[in-house]
Amino acid sequence: MNIIRRNERSGLIEKEHEETRSLRSVVVAVIPSYLFNWPTTTILGRKKTLVCLYLICSISISILTALIMLLEEVPSWAKMVLSLGGKMAITAAFGLIWYYSTELFSTKYRARVIGEANMFGRLSSSCSPYINDIFGEELVWGPSALFSLTSLAAAFIVTLLPETKNKIMDQGIDDQPGIGPSSSSLLTSPEPDPL
């Protein structure tokens, strides 16, 4: 009995050690992903950087999905490298989304859009563990395939958005092209009232 108890204890200690190591890897991967945004958005712009990040995530997770489908046992280093590659890309994309979306919308709608984006982000982060557990029991490669396709769809949708690099942020509805007066600009002062 004592041998079995000792083995269980050492197994638990080893499991805790593996969980701590993977947690450290994720934390170490998050820092460079946020630092990655600054030079790339300065050089490439917000739109191209966001599309590239979604594609990197999608490719990384697609390769992991293919390995899970083709191999009986995927090497742990391959799982870790591909998962962290996708995690780094999606973390950088998440950080970039916040300031890209503030530049896309005028001041009148900015708070509402950020609030709705935050709500859907929280909803999806609440659903992802259930997708991973429930869908993963049916198809081992299912959650990876779903997350990869979602990233690919997001990359396509971002290509439809305008670039905001070196553009003046809209302050109101009058700043929208084709809607407000043609002379409306943040750089020129409005005409004084005749009163």
What 48-53 contacts at long range (C-beta under 8 Å, 24+ apart), as own/partner pairs, is 48/163, 49/96, 50/93, 50/96, 50/97, 50/100, 50/155, 50/158, 51/155, 51/158, 51/159, 53/89, 53/90, 53/92, 53/93, 53/96
**According to the model, what pLDDT value does residue 151 have?**
94
**Nearest alpha-carbon partner for 97 in 158, 151, 172:** 158
Q: At what angle do helices 76-104 and 46-70 cross, to 10 degrees?
A: 150
**According to the model, what pLDDT value does residue 1 have?**
37
Q: Output the tens digit of pLDDT for each of the chain's 195 residues.
A: 333 334 454 444 444 455 566 667 777 778 888 888 888 888 888 999 999 999 999 999 999 999 999 998 889 889 888 988 998 999 899 889 888 888 888 888 888 988 998 898 889 889 888 888 888 888 888 888 999 999 999 999 999 988 888 777 666 655 555 544 444 444 444 555 565
- pTM of the predicted protein model: 0.73
**According to the model, what pLDDT value does residue 121 have?**
85
**Nearest alpha-carbon partner for 46 in 163, 151, 156:** 163
For residue 46, the one-letter residue type is: R
Q: What are the helix (H) ranges across 44-162?
A: 46-70, 76-104, 107-130, 136-138, 142-158
Determine how many CB atoms are found less than 10 A away from the CB of residue 33.
Answer: 20
**According to the model, what pLDDT value does residue 171 have?**
67
C-alpha–C-alpha distance, residues 87 and 53, integer Å = 10
**According to the model, what pLDDT value does residue 9 have?**
47
58, 152 in Cβ contact below 8 A?
yes
C-alpha–C-alpha distance, residues 52 and 58, integer Å = 10
Contacts of 141 (CB under 8 A, 6+ apart): 65, 68, 69
C-alpha–C-alpha distance, residues 128 and 143, integer Å = 9
Angle CA(172)–CA(114)–CA(41) in degrees, nearest 5?
85
Q: How far is CA 62 from CA 22, 23, 58, 70, 124, in A?
A: 21, 23, 6, 12, 20
